[in-house]
Amino acid sequence: MTLTLEEYLAVPYILTMESVCRSDGEWVRRASYPELPDCFAEAESPIDAIEQLDQLRRDRIADMLQKGESIPVPRPPLASALPVLDSDRLGFAKWLVQEGRIGT
């Protein structure tokens, strides 16, 4: 299945959260997407771990796509996460270009 970057980013991967003890004895929260290779983040708070993980997921998927690597798609992308074009507004935009009121 070949998807666009936006479609891959809309795939609802399972997110896990756990508290782990690092080798130095410090406890941190680890958020991960186990369905994506090497996609986890650790932070003191769960919110920080999730924010870091979300950016890592975006970067990891874009990198895998650019390299032509296989990206796991365990379930279809969420339709609500994909941008929806309003056909009325799109028609108006086409009219503006056709009339020379804006450039392409």
Contact 43, 49 (CB under 8 A): yes
pTM reported for the whole predicted model: 0.71
> What pLDDT is attached to residue 95?
74
For the chain, list the domains and their CATH numbers: 5-98 (3.30.160.250)
Q: Give all strands of the β-sheet with 16-21 in edge-to-edge order.
A: 16-21, 27-32, 40-43
Low-confidence ranges of the chain (pLDDT < 70): 1, 81-90, 93, 103-104
